[in-house]
Structure 1
């Protein structure tokens, strides 16, 4: 019997539980616990796998290239077809070459099974693109490079509900484990990295996993991308989920520093910053203190958090160039039909006069809606999310007589999740339907600022490899203000989680990307005063090889760039005219090269203008 007969064309072997004798096959991987074998000829049917797991615990005598005759009982181990009992192995010869199969599964189900099933257990030549950063286990969600990045789509996972959209779960996604089959580990993958090599596709209870069996080639991408600085005739409104920024957490100091750097260097010190997931007033005061240390002028903020603080709260930072605003907590006394207060994080409203045009006012409503956790199993979660959305929709309708921007972590997609369409209940935009139908409250509908972006940019979070937008910005028809731009500051959702504990790396300050809405002040725009104070930024792939290029932007003419090792010793940078160790002057934009003789390890790039620190980032040299 051939391997493809045992595998069949579905997700379960047609010979499950039976003893089978396999035809001659070739070992593709082996260790002391298990091995993979493959039919060298195949049946020509692209819908059946030619690879098989031998889960015997007695495979230490095998090496790749061995020709073997194997018999045993067919089992399904966490979804993977295998011979796992009563196994006998007869080695015939060694050194048989086997050409890996090109891996291109597509995105559609095959005979009701995942498109990956037909490659289960096979030796593959692969080119995959990371759809997420490295996780806590140093593995990465990936898809083959030939298909587009997977995004969350409307609806419920199968089987769904009648007459409502169904989300297929993006079956083209799989896990990639750099050292799953004994290769060296790599813990700094970011979404967009391209990984090429030879490996085997396995299946576990959590899904399919691709692991290399020899060294790979990797094209790394830089996960951070800041937004632009505002011009003098603009006011900026931003939002950021700060991911459990509480002073009773053991890593609070580290997290605080990373959030401050993100606000300054990635969001470019927005005028109004709506914050979600912070502890409260103490944490806001700490942010203000550190931002003023970073830049006394640009970081000069006032802040507000609700006095009746819960475990996690919404809050504001408002730049002091704006006259003292008014803050109001809304809906704090509303009750849910399923019991208790409706809003455990009540929406927070700020009302302010636009700088430079005191006759124009702006209202910003900061939201952090109940999460999707438990929504599939607990109807009370759906009830609360639906009633919160209806409550907020009524707030919006009552506030829209003046300029209104509604921002925050909606914990909802820009379309229905199948149970509740939170976003379109609040926005008044058309809905594809939900178990809890949208009520007509907001009319006319608000404008979705993110809709101005290319589709591939409409995300703020990545969950199980599917990019999705949970953080939103809605606004009404504005008076005295013009929407100039909307942009996400990248570096959190796409970055390796292993950057989170790195105090000198901008990436992974949170798990959400923040955004900025640029509003032109019509009264000032008529003067065409568009001066911008641009902030210095350094761009490089991290980790980098010795000799890598470092790009810089908006470097003042008197700036000094230094590279130091872990002992604080300054090193000369290749390509820089140095007046002191590691120092040089530049202006505007350009690049320089790291020294070729750097040994692998951790270094710090620092940019100063006089006594003022402009940028300080850690760079890892990997070879």
Structure 2
């Protein structure tokens, strides 16, 4: 999964669904005149037994219920209400969101009757492939009484959530599950959907996704589900989803009530309860009127071992849009991590180095100032004075933040490693492999791999270079593959979700695999390291293409399965960053150094990877 889907700005804790412009049937603000109506309808009749209301587009009148939660800010103001007299069908939800368009004039505990039109709202828009939220719009609200007890929350537990994730969608509809009857005792997504809008609770859960800048975190109700020793829930297969993950937000604005800070492995002690919402940034979400208490379990940032004199240490680190416009504190914190947590590797492949004026889109492509500030910060932190090599991209041709011109950069410690400079590279001239006295050389070092290949359109081009360590040549290929932007979410109405971005990463992986083959054709036992933010999982088609033909091994596979991760997204602990090596590199130690992804306070959203080996 994206890595992560981008958000354009920090907004309050409850990210407004209306910002996504995703209405199927438009909701509107309160109407002065009531709609022509169908009488006698209750909430479970509106929700129905599938994801789409049987009354979508239909006016309804005097629907009864008790207010269980209020959203009084953001672009999707409204409230949730619930029928205290449920039917006997476990597939029909008894809760519903009422879109008012302005601050609701109701209080939690009010008994109300609501008239309005039934809508299906798609967070993120119809093109996102997301499921929809059933809601009422164009509403009139009558308060019947106040101070009523709330319907008892449905307890979401390890036993109540099925192990199977979702049914397979219907052929001919893009594999949509919208029309399927809900089976809440069989599938996790059906279970959550059957509770949409209802008052629910979780108790004494473990945090599996740290507090983010938007005022939300993730917990699991299944403590043994793919758990690792640091408290995460490991994502290991497209076919085995982690069903116990639930997102937590709060009803109050973060300006009025700061959201608690939690890291992976912390506990959310006590009961957290509120309506179960659905949004584009996590799917099913408890919008808590009452939050449990965060218990700090003391997660520590890891420190990798120092390389031995005869070992070459190489690392990859996505430094998340590093630019001179960032505060010096970001440079200092990243530099401190390189020295203390990564133990000053001999070669460091950096991803997301921006140009000298950051996101300002004025044609600047040089990153000399960005790299100089980082190299100086590392030296000031007690590390080596790194030298560096890179190739400037064409302006606005490599994707990423507009104007930022992100690129890959090699840092290397000249006291231990030499760089082989050959030729004068530019953004569009490919480096190639040639044989010189029976050994492989690059025509350009540093150089870019096959930059005219459509696989690299609007994406970073790999940076290749030759290094010498103790008289041995080691080839490095630094990568930052295309992002997962545009992929459907795990909670998509299409099951399995469409992963459209895989096509480009597959082509990128094939190009890199071919380049490594060219090196090995000249010398089969050549030592090649392919590393970087590959934006994909070890079980993905892209990684299979990189390994194809036994050309490369994915060295993170040398770790125990629960330790194979570099990123946490929506409560899934997963791998996006990799170091792969040719089979000739046998004597190595691999370390995914967990210093960012599990923490609320991050220098980057990625964990760096380190490989130590004897060339």
What range describes the TM-score normalised by the shorter chain of this pair? 0.5 to 0.7
The number of aligned residues is 471
- 1:368 maps to which residue? 480
* Structure 2 residue ranges without an equivalent (≥5): 1-40, 123-131, 168-180, 183-188, 227-231, 356-366, 395-404, 422-443, 488-498
2:392 aligned with 1:392, yes or no?
no
User: Which residue of 502, 510, 517 maps to 2:611?
Assistant: 517
Measured after TM superposition, the shift of residue 449 of structure 1 is 1.4
**Structure 1 or 2: more strand by fraction:** 1
- 1:303 maps to which residue? 387
CA distance in 1, matches of 2:219, 2:60: 34
TM-score of the two chains, using structure 1 as the length reference = 0.65
Higher relative contact order (CA 8 A, sep 6+): 2
Task: Report if aligned partners of 1:236, 1:519 keep a CA contact under 8 Å in 2.
Answer: yes
Structure number, greater radius of gyration: 1
Residues 10 and 172 (structure 1), Cα distance of their counterparts in 2 relative to 1, 3 Å cut: farther
Task: Report if aligned partners of 1:35, 1:59 keep a CA contact under 8 Å in 2.
Answer: no
- 2:592 maps to which residue? 488
CA distance in 1, matches of 2:386, 2:103: 66
User: Which residue of 375, 384, 409 maps to 1:315?
Assistant: 409
2:440 aligned with 1:324, yes or no?
no
- 1:245 maps to which residue? 322
- CA deviation profile, 1:66-111 (whole Å, cap 9, x unmatched): 4455555433344333343453535156443542220244462374
CA distance in 1, matches of 2:195, 2:250: 19
Task: Report if aligned partners of 2:351, 2:409 keep a CA contact under 8 Å in 1.
Answer: yes
- 2:542 maps to which residue? 422
2:581 aligned with 1:475, yes or no?
yes
Task: Report if aligned partners of 1:458, 1:469 keep a CA contact under 8 Å in 2.
Answer: yes
Measured after TM superposition, the shift of residue 514 of structure 1 is 0.3
Task: Report if aligned partners of 2:528, 2:581 keep a CA contact under 8 Å in 1.
Answer: yes
- 1:573 maps to which residue? none
After TM superposition, the structure 1 = structure 2 runs for residues 26-425 of structure 1, keeping only pairs within 5 Å, are 26-30=66-70, 34-56=78-100, 62-78=106-122, 79-85=132-138, 87-89=140-142, 91-92=144-145, 94-96=147-149, 98-104=151-157, 105-106=161-162, 108-109=165-166, 111=181, 114-127=190-203, 128-146=205-223, 147-148=225-226, 174-180=246-252, 184-186=257-259, 188-195=261-268, 196-204=271-279, 207-220=283-296, 224-230=300-306, 232=308, 234-247=311-324, 250-251=325-326, 253-278=328-353, 279=355, 280-295=367-382, 299-306=383-390, 308=392, 311-326=405-420, 329=445, 332=448, 334=450, 336=452, 338=454, 345-354=461-470, 362-373=474-485, 381=504, 385=508, 388-395=511-518, 397-398=520-521, 400-416=524-540, 421-425=541-545
Residues 394 and 323 (structure 1), Cα distance of their counterparts in 2 relative to 1, 3 Å cut: closer
Task: Report if aligned partners of 1:21, 1:70 keep a CA contact under 8 Å in 2.
Answer: yes
Measured after TM superposition, the shift of residue 23 of structure 1 is 7.5
Query: Equivalent residue of 2:285, what SS?
Result: strand
CA distance in 2, matches of 1:74, 1:323: 67
Query: Equivalent residue of 2:562, what SS?
Result: helix
CA distance in 2, matches of 1:132, 1:306: 34
- 2:16 maps to which residue? none
Task: Report if aligned partners of 1:462, 1:494 keep a CA contact under 8 Å in 2.
Answer: yes
Query: Equivalent residue of 2:448, what SS?
Result: coil
Residues 380 and 231 (structure 1), Cα distance of their counterparts in 2 relative to 1, 3 Å cut: closer
Query: Equivalent residue of 2:603, what SS?
Result: coil
* Structure 1 residue ranges without an equivalent (≥5): 156-166, 429-441, 500-507, 522-623
Query: Equivalent residue of 1:116, what SS?
Result: helix
TM-score of the two chains, using structure 2 as the length reference = 0.65
CA distance in 2, matches of 1:14, 1:150: 37
Task: Report if aligned partners of 1:130, 1:189 keep a CA contact under 8 Å in 2.
Answer: yes
